[in-house]
Structure 1
Amino acid sequence: MNAEDPTAAFRVEARELLDQVEQALLDLSYRLDDAALIDSVFRGLHTLKGSGAMFGFDSLAAFTHHIEGAFDRVRKGRARATAELVATVLAARDHMRALVEGDAISADGEAILARLAAAVDAPAVEPAAPVRPVAPDTAATGGWQLSFRLPRQALAHGTNALALLDELRALGDCTLVAHRGAIPPLDQLAERDCHVGWAATLRGDVPRAAIDDVFLFVLDDMELSVTPLPPVGTAAGARGAAAAPDRAAPETRAPRRVARAVQGELVRVPAARLDTLMDRVGELVIAQSRLSQLAGDRHDLVLRSVAEEIERLAAELRDTMMVLRMVPVASLFGRFRRLVHDLARETGKAIALETAGESTEIDKTVSERLFDPLVHILRNACDHGLEEAGERIAVGKPATGIVRLAAYQAGGAAVITVSDDGRGIVRERVRAKAEASGLVAPGQALADAELLALIFHPGFSTAAAVTNLSGRGVGMDVVKREIERLRGTIELVSTEGAGTTITLRIPLTLAIIDGLLVRVGTGRYVIPLAAVEECLELTAEEDRRSLGRSLITLRDRLVPFLRLRELFATAAPPDPHQKIVVVATGRERVGLVVDQIIGSHQTVVKALSPFHQGIGTFSGATILGDGGVALILDVAQLVARGQQAESALGQAA
């Protein structure tokens, strides 16, 4: 984004405003009489309308004006907030987003405005009392006498003074007089400074809050005094009253100052620049690794000292860069509130979304790539996991179904769970579908985890009827594949009648990982350290004894292992003291037989070429300190291969 492009800056601000409006609307859907939420929606719409007109988005300003007007009626108690009104304004919010991006269709807007008129014209509660209590001094039947001066930098910051005056005149019978005494001589005039003040007489039954709304975004920095006028025909006893600046209550002004102070400490940086900086840090880590290796090969204490200092600084820079790329999962979870709201309306179910651990932070790239898998999981939970209200009540459950999103950090990974309190997965259906599809033989013994794992098979579904929303299991293979591309794991636990929980375990970052460097033959490979459980020695005798079975006993449990020499077709003779690196994904473990464990390694992940991406055994590559290349093993793929080998051995036995 070009920092000097005002249109691009407006689009960024407009997206944030629309997101805030959406969250307020979703909150309002649960508390339809919440005056603070109604005001929040109105302020967001009011700001968007004014900013849109200022930056030339006339269609957006015109459309938003209708939505703002509808909410103003609700705000003043002339209409009531309903679920249908909230749903309509959410649809309007989507249309406004399209107008911001420049790809809207006018017919959509006309249909939404028709729905809006019907929703607002619904019978109101009689008498039409205001939504919020009005203090005695917030309205004046005679009007107001105003004296105000905008902040000097208002024009430079994008404020349209003429638009503010037009809004003020629209409130009632308004007379404006400009005060030009503070305008400096021409040779001292700064063209972007605002030097004019105004006096205004505003007659009519105008709430005091309406005046504040006009100046909402300059209120704390401008000069403003407001004095009530007496009703027409009465003595003007208030004419001599002192014009006290009555802008907002102190408790209201204080949060604004705090919010602005916090905003002042933030700098908006395009994501592409962070990605570029991360690439540079990765290259620095590689160069530092090479320097450390060179220093280790020489007996130069000064060189070693410098290499150690650069290693320390590079590590600190890497950690700082990682923090810069981290975002709280709240930004991800917040996007699903609208999804669940729409699914509840479409399915006719009462659904509540609960979230926990929203302060847990993950890499921004991980957050972006998690969105689609989580959307699919949530659709399954809402459409096929949760029962209808009548069915829930019949089995002693509350009518409202619960979908819960939770996150927490465990070591170098983020754990995200999606759970529901629905009907759970019926094992008989899974088995019947698997047998009908030829995935398992009739009557074949399967552990519960193996049975549930069938849901991740391509095209598998237990839904009695596939809807346009989802089919429990349809596409779960795609979800699993995407999670594994993130070097993560997915687990499913379900209790019939009580619900289902899906657990995703994802690395906190994808750019730089801690790895275990190993050697197989003459090749070197990196195993992500987060997946490593322990390392064992495989003696020549144990190696011979395990030929044909490839199983070891580890604390009274059989664990399959893969000989990477065979997998990679290594021609060099094996090391006499081979090692087994035990890795795990979720509950499944497998051993990887290597010739040598070289040690830990800070691994800068490089993407594989399109030609090599389909191999499956490797998830990336890295450059070593000596300039050589080491492939990063895809642990999820290797564990799956080990489990398949174990199943084949069990069937042969």
Structure 2
Amino acid sequence: MSDDPIDTFRQEAQDLLEQIETGLLDMAHRPGDRDLVDAVFRGLHTLKGSGAMFGFDALAAFTHHCETAFDRVRKGEVPATPELVAAVLAAQDHMRALAEGTDASDAEGEALLARLRKAVDAAAGVTVETACVPGAATWKVRFSLPADALANGTRPLPLLDELRELGDCKVTALTDQVPPLEALVPTECWLGWEVILTTAHPRSAIEDVFIFVIDEMTLEIEAPGSAPQVTQDHDAPPEALLAAVTREQAAPAPEAAPEAVEAAEVKTTRVGDTVRVPAERLDELMDRVGELVIAQSRLKQVAVSSNEPQLRAVAEEIERLASELRDTMMVVRMVPVAQLFGRFRRLIHDLARDTGKTIALSTEGEATELDKTVIERLADPLVHLIRNAADHGLETPDERMAAGKPETGHVTLAARQAGAEVIITITDDGRGVDRARVRAKAEDNGLIAPGAVLSDNELLQLIFHPGFSTAATITNLSGRGVGMDVVKRTIEGLRGAIEMKSEPGQGSQISLRIPLTLAIIDGLLVRVGPARYVIPLAAVEECVELTVEQDMRSTGRSLLTLRDRLVPFIRLRELFRTGLAPDPHQKVVVVATGQERVGLVVDQILGDHQTVIKSLSAFHDDVETFSGATILGDGGVALILDVSHLVAAGQRQDAQLRAAG
């Protein structure tokens, strides 16, 4: 948590803006939901108050207009029309800019407020059910603020003014808690207030007056013939809370009318059980854990070569603790993908408006967790994929109706964990990929030779080539051939892989296979010639021995039969040009990404290894065979093999052999 109060406010403002956006997007489907209206109003009210408290006067003034509009919705004066919701969503982007301190022109703010006023005026002409209770009722309201309320910027007079706006009221100050003069602290608030209010508004309107401070104050609202509802400050002395509850239980409660207030209840706030920590500190802690894993590996190697049983026992204990610390650190960095998926509801809302299509977004597996760094780097690729699905994949409502489909197009975001990977799929029920058009475009661009024989997967993968686009015209959404190549480059930078399936007329599905974390992985340490390499253990399916007979028989054809299935393999000593003769007992490590499998021929399997991933220098950016390096226990360096590129190389080799045969 930052010591700078401005940073603290900005973090809280972002949380509030996300809550407001979620409520607005939900309201687009449930415009009459009173809970959603109240939630959006509370968020705007809190944002306005916090902004004024921390000196963000422009934000507070701008938010006040949106709050006023939703106050009319809350009171039943205007309905939450799609135009009003869209206007507040657009205004919310301006609020975010004001909160972050970025450039936000006054002219843009005035234009947004003019749009908001136009939407409110248009909505005012729509007949809605009034939220006010027929007739007037008299309420007794008693409240007191915490002692530090004035020091924290809370002022009681505006609260009383808001109560007066609801109807006729009589205010009486309660001084029974004021201490003697010699004990009085001028900055502390010991006054209470009793208000007799006659209003046609419901009880909820009275509660909303205190919405910004209700968790820190004591509030009793009593209707004639009913028990008071008590909202007690959780910091108040226990005996005060007990007395309030005792008074409520002891008072005989007459039978209340249906419209009377519900039975009294005590509302408390729970002390926060989470701590907000800057991501930089987590990254630094992860680096320290990585260094500890390296040191532990060195200690293990020393212990193995030693005859000291005590040293071996200590090494095993430290290995266990380091492994548990690593697992704990991984969990700390994990966040649910719901944080990522939630961002795209607004994107779908805007895409539907821009394309004139009716689009529905559904999500699955939101509780699946991923490393925070991975989630941040996945945001842009998913934006490209969703925009591509909305623009290229989904048809217009007329086209869908003509094809016998529902008018509404569906985009589904799903996540699930598979071993040490998370698979994220983006599915649409649109027109699917026109393979003839893809082939024609690829031939025109010189990506493939005319009439070249390609598998379906190879043809679909052309979509991710830089500069490739099948769009007939360039729009603000697509057509320039940028985006999908960025997606592939980013996913491969995460040591992930992309798979694509498409059925003409039925839709498309793109699957992203992403490792759970980028910092530390379990690896299989192997030797090829004099050098050692690490293969990510999550990609390893099995290890088998390559006999001399199999090696001689497969010369020139690099195929191995495993359980009646041909598996292509790559001799790493030839790929890495070791210049040495192979060991007599070579091993084949079968690795896989998705449905594709390939064997990697190594000289020796050294065992499992906790791998702390170190990035390669910029000089090695174009080396696709390796995804990083790690430091071994003896201080040596082992390169980490990029399985997806090796599998692709195996596929190309197998295709060449089939073509030659």
Report if TM-score (shorter chain) is over 0.5: yes
Following superposition, which runs of at least 4 residues in structure 1 exceed 6 angstroms of deviation? Answer: 248-254
> Cα–Cα, structure 1 residues 638 and 128, in superposed 2: closer, same or farther, change >3 Å?
closer
Residue in 1 that maps onto 2:496: 488
Is 1:374 aligned with 2:382? yes
Residue in 2 that maps onto 1:551: 559
Aligned with residue 598 of structure 2, among 580, 590, 598: 590
Residue in 2 that maps onto 1:234: none
- What are the within-5 Å matches in structure 2 for residues 328-367 of structure 1? 328-367=336-375
Residue in 1 that maps onto 2:439: 431
Residue in 1 that maps onto 2:650: 642
- What are the within-5 Å matches in structure 2 for residues 150-189 of structure 1? 150-155=145-150, 159-161=154-156, 163-165=158-160, 167-168=162-163, 171=166, 178-180=173-175, 182-184=177-179, 188=183
> Cα–Cα, structure 1 residues 169 and 5, in superposed 2: closer, same or farther, change >3 Å?
farther
Is 1:244 aligned with 2:252? no
> Cα–Cα, structure 1 residues 253 and 106, in superposed 2: closer, same or farther, change >3 Å?
farther
Q: CA–CA distance in 1 between the matches of 2:150 and 2:136? A: 31
Shift of 1:327: 0.7
Q: Say whether the 8 Å CA contact 1:54–1:160 is kept in structure 2.
A: no
- What are the within-5 Å matches in structure 2 for residues 176-325 of structure 1? 178-180=173-175, 182-184=177-179, 188=183, 193-200=188-195, 207-226=202-221, 244-245=228-229, 257=268, 260-261=269-270, 264-325=272-333
Partner SS, residue 495 of structure 2:
coil
Shift of 1:173: 6.5
> Cα–Cα, structure 1 residues 158 and 647, in superposed 2: closer, same or farther, change >3 Å?
farther
- What are the within-5 Å matches in structure 2 for residues 562-577 of structure 1? 562-577=570-585
Given residue 214 of structure 1, which amino acid in structure 2 is its aligned partner? Answer: V
> Cα–Cα, structure 1 residues 479 and 242, in superposed 2: closer, same or farther, change >3 Å?
closer
Residue in 2 that maps onto 1:17: 16
Residue in 2 that maps onto 1:56: 55
Out of 404-413 and 612-621, give the one that drifted further. 612-621
Given residue 113 of structure 1, which amino acid in structure 2 is its aligned partner? Answer: L
Residue in 2 that maps onto 1:110: 110
Partner SS, residue 264 of structure 1:
coil
Out of 531-540 and 549-558, give the one that drifted further. 549-558
Q: CA–CA distance in 1 between the matches of 2:226 and 2:539? A: 73
Partner SS, residue 298 of structure 1:
coil
Out of 636-645 and 318-327, give the one that drifted further. 636-645
Gaps of 5+ in 1: 229-237
Shift of 1:149: 0.9
Residue in 1 that maps onto 2:42: 43
1:371-405, Cα deviation, whole Å (9 max, x unpaired):
11111110011111000101111111100000001
Q: CA–CA distance in 1 between the matches of 2:262 and 2:610? A: 53
Shift of 1:42: 1.0
Residue in 1 that maps onto 2:237: none
Out of 21-30 and 461-470, give the one that drifted further. 461-470
Partner SS, residue 30 of structure 1:
coil
> Cα–Cα, structure 1 residues 105 and 251, in superposed 2: closer, same or farther, change >3 Å?
farther
Shift of 1:475: 2.9
Given residue 568 of structure 1, which amino acid in structure 2 is its aligned partner? Answer: F
Q: Say whether the 8 Å CA contact 2:588–2:601 is kept in structure 1.
A: yes
Q: CA–CA distance in 1 between the matches of 2:37 and 2:94? A: 20
Given residue 603 of structure 1, which amino acid in structure 2 is its aligned partner? Answer: T
Q: CA–CA distance in 2 between the matches of 1:474 and 1:554? A: 41
Shift of 1:456: 2.1
> Cα–Cα, structure 1 residues 590 and 190, in superposed 2: closer, same or farther, change >3 Å?
farther
Q: What is the percentage of aligned positions where both structures have the same residue? A: 66
> Cα–Cα, structure 1 residues 242 and 74, in superposed 2: closer, same or farther, change >3 Å?
closer
Partner SS, residue 405 of structure 1:
strand
Q: Say whether the 8 Å CA contact 2:84–2:123 is kept in structure 1.
A: no
> Cα–Cα, structure 1 residues 283 and 165, in superposed 2: closer, same or farther, change >3 Å?
farther
Q: CA–CA distance in 2 between the matches of 1:160 and 1:285? A: 55
Shift of 1:48: 0.9
Shift of 1:207: 4.6
Residue in 2 that maps onto 1:233: none
Q: Say whether the 8 Å CA contact 2:171–2:193 is kept in structure 1.
A: yes
Partner SS, residue 121 of structure 1:
helix
Q: What is the aligned length?
A: 632
Shift of 1:410: 1.0
Residue in 2 that maps onto 1:93: 92
Partner SS, residue 290 of structure 2:
helix
Q: CA–CA distance in 1 between the matches of 2:91 and 2:264? A: 29
Is 1:5 aligned with 2:13? no
Q: Say whether the 8 Å CA contact 1:176–1:199 is kept in structure 2.
A: yes
Residue in 2 that maps onto 1:499: 507
Residue in 1 that maps onto 2:142: 147
Shift of 1:332: 0.6
Given residue 46 of structure 2, which amino acid in structure 1 is its aligned partner? Answer: T
Shift of 1:44: 1.0
- What are the within-5 Å matches in structure 2 for residues 327-476 of structure 1? 327-471=335-479, 474-476=482-484
Q: CA–CA distance in 1 between the matches of 2:126 and 2:94? A: 33
Shift of 1:350: 0.5
1:114-141, Cα deviation, whole Å (9 max, x unpaired):
11111111154665422x5x557xx846
Partner SS, residue 619 of structure 2:
coil
Normalised by the length of structure 1, the TM-score is 0.90
> Cα–Cα, structure 1 residues 597 and 128, in superposed 2: closer, same or farther, change >3 Å?
closer
Out of 459-468 and 388-397, give the one that drifted further. 459-468
Shift of 1:162: 5.3
Out of 497-506 and 583-592, give the one that drifted further. 583-592
Partner SS, residue 430 of structure 2:
coil
> Cα–Cα, structure 1 residues 107 and 125, in superposed 2: closer, same or farther, change >3 Å?
closer
Q: Say whether the 8 Å CA contact 2:218–2:231 is kept in structure 1.
A: no
Q: CA–CA distance in 1 between the matches of 2:263 and 2:45? A: 22
Q: CA–CA distance in 1 between the matches of 2:457 and 2:349? A: 32
What RMSD in Å do the two structures reach over aligned CA positions? 2.7
Given residue 208 of structure 1, which amino acid in structure 2 is its aligned partner? Answer: R
Normalised by the length of structure 2, the TM-score is 0.89
Shift of 1:244: 3.4
Shift of 1:65: 0.7
Q: CA–CA distance in 2 between the matches of 1:444 and 1:184? A: 92
Shift of 1:367: 0.8
Shift of 1:557: 3.8
> Cα–Cα, structure 1 residues 396 and 549, in superposed 2: closer, same or farther, change >3 Å?
same
Gaps of 5+ in 2: 233-260
Partner SS, residue 177 of structure 2:
coil
> Cα–Cα, structure 1 residues 317 and 165, in superposed 2: closer, same or farther, change >3 Å?
farther
Given residue 85 of structure 1, which amino acid in structure 2 is its aligned partner? Answer: L
Shift of 1:170: 5.4
> Cα–Cα, structure 1 residues 123 and 281, in superposed 2: closer, same or farther, change >3 Å?
closer
Shift of 1:630: 1.1
1:564-595, Cα deviation, whole Å (9 max, x unpaired):
22222324443222222122222222222211
